[in-house]
Structure 1
């Protein structure tokens, strides 16, 4: 669980006991906004309003690496609003910022593989469960699908009049459902953008 003071606590769900308590000063200098667990449960990825994402070892509570997500020479807020590990390529993670930057990170080498720029801030991202694709929901009202291997935008789903605040993909991988600040929800076919 991430906290406003930048700290992270790792809880045992069965016993409701705290396994690790990583103090804010040791991890983030401001609020933790997003968090994800690696599919192997050995790593945790956190994103913060301090423009960083941290990879934490779940059993020791030690920070493994820090990804700097700040835009150089940007006066916009660089908050990391969404972060996630890949389901299909265990070495990859992604972060999305309010400046509209989707970054694909190689965790073992601690390097940025690709940066994908959006016209609006990224508020949520989600990895495809079967391929190296990342979906992003943005303040510009568009959901996009990116190929993590080359950083190219593959498809876009639009139609909202305001920011897309949340989305999900059906279990069968055929449908995309969005919720927007325009007070509407939309259902899209994943294989037919804008329909």
Structure 2
């Protein structure tokens, strides 16, 4: 499983580096008579600035929590106001009887007065123009947590999902139909990525392998196993009830069990993989602390990338250049440049806890996320410090950046938040008992060219949700 409960030890980040640099300078200034500030005072100032930064981060996190509470109250208010204001509702009693409930109109008016009186100032100070969000598709079928969702680069109506139930699936985004199930792995399928120029997919698993296979439905008959069982018999009654809602589970007709190429070389879980921009090479990332560059056609190991001190968590390739970024539990992410035969490597220490994700944004930026509850935006031309920092209230999982530079951030606390590339908050996707995810959100993917839903999310609740995000509608 991609989620690990290993203790998250802190290592040196930019803050530590700055203080070390200042200390070194202080040692030189002690011998410089032109500097009137004693080393003791400088050290005290550094300590005070660190305390101020810590207090600011605490206040900021509390501010976010308060903002979420205000939004929750507003959502409840909107729900009451939108209800039937003329009818009288009824409630079932524990003994099976029925009693009358006060009219929705009366309740909504009372709630409206009390909430508006207590939250109007907070709402006006926190809430800005908020986009309209709605769940329009629910892709049911996986029998365990879904670790990743990805959109085809050749056909934006096709998405793929990778699940802990040892399978990957190919779906039609508009119809919600499962086109193909891949069952060639013997362990949890941790990632799925589409080739940028060919009709191929790479998946990785807990068995330490990566598989390359074709997502085409029209495969030779001997490679397809017909199955009319959805696997529902494997679920207990509580799980069946959880899935028996407005989006019923569907039958899988096509199951593929044989990959076209098996990539061998890692000694532990392969947590992620991606295609280089040319589409003929695959880069994999593993818990054995290495990344391996493979030839996709022959399966040959071209190069093994070493340097991370702990398990890797993610790998992403640049969409147009031979650049790769790897993330690790060692609190760093690394940029590998395959354009140079010497393959220079740049190490970035921008986080204080495991880096769970790092993706390219456009041609010149990288966005990283971490268990330290921050998302940071970096400029490839000057990667010494982030150009924007987003502080949240929960660990960050595999995020995605749209072509319009909108960052969708999935969290451990079941939320999905949207920010622009400058770190400005856009909004939060709704979450309730029947809307959104009920457990950790593992991954998101933009499908901007799709007319039905332009954002897809998946989580440990086995759900894959298609969202319609309208950034033009304002409240």
Q: Give TM-score, length-normalised by structure 1.
A: 0.85
Q: How does 1:65-76 map to 2 (within 5 A)?
A: 65-71=261-267
* Distance in 2 separating the partners of 1:17 and 1:159: 41
* Distance in 1 separating the partners of 2:209 and 2:175: 31
* Distance in 1 separating the partners of 2:375 and 2:324: 21
3-state secondary structure, aligned to 1:168: strand
Q: Which residue of the other structure, out of 20, 29, 53, is the alignment partner of 2:180?
A: 20
Q: Which residue of the other structure, out of 358, 361, 364, is the alignment partner of 1:174?
A: 364
The change in CA–CA distance for 1:22 and 1:179 in structure 2 (over 3 A counts) is: closer
Partner of 1:104: 293
Q: How does 1:44-55 map to 2 (within 5 A)?
A: 44-55=201-212
Contact 1:156 1:193 in 2 (8 A): no
Q: How does 1:160-171 map to 2 (within 5 A)?
A: 160-171=351-362
Contact 1:156 1:194 in 2 (8 A): no
Q: Which residue of the other structure, out of 155, 166, 170, is the alignment partner of 1:10?
A: 170
* Superposition misfits of 4+ residues, deviation over 6 angstroms: none
Contact 1:69 1:97 in 2 (8 A): no
1:123 partnered with 2:313: yes
Name structure 2 gaps, 5 residues minimum: 1-160, 220-255, 386-475
| Alpha-carbon distance, 1:151 to partner | 7.4
* Distance in 1 separating the partners of 2:203 and 2:355: 22
Partner of 1:140: 330
3-state secondary structure, aligned to 1:194: coil
The change in CA–CA distance for 1:90 and 1:169 in structure 2 (over 3 A counts) is: closer
1:184 partnered with 2:374: yes
Partner of 2:272: 82
Larger helix proportion of the pair: 2
* Distance in 1 separating the partners of 2:311 and 2:176: 35
* Distance in 2 separating the partners of 1:34 and 1:84: 9
Contact 2:202 2:213 in 1 (8 A): yes
The change in CA–CA distance for 1:13 and 1:84 in structure 2 (over 3 A counts) is: same
The change in CA–CA distance for 1:7 and 1:151 in structure 2 (over 3 A counts) is: farther
Q: How many residues align?
A: 184
Contact 1:97 1:122 in 2 (8 A): yes
Larger strand proportion of the pair: 1
* Distance in 2 separating the partners of 1:154 and 1:3: 32
Partner of 2:187: 30
Larger deviation, residues 120-129 vs 55-64? 55-64
* Distance in 2 separating the partners of 1:153 and 1:163: 23
1:155 partnered with 2:346: yes
Name structure 1 gaps, 5 residues minimum: 72-77
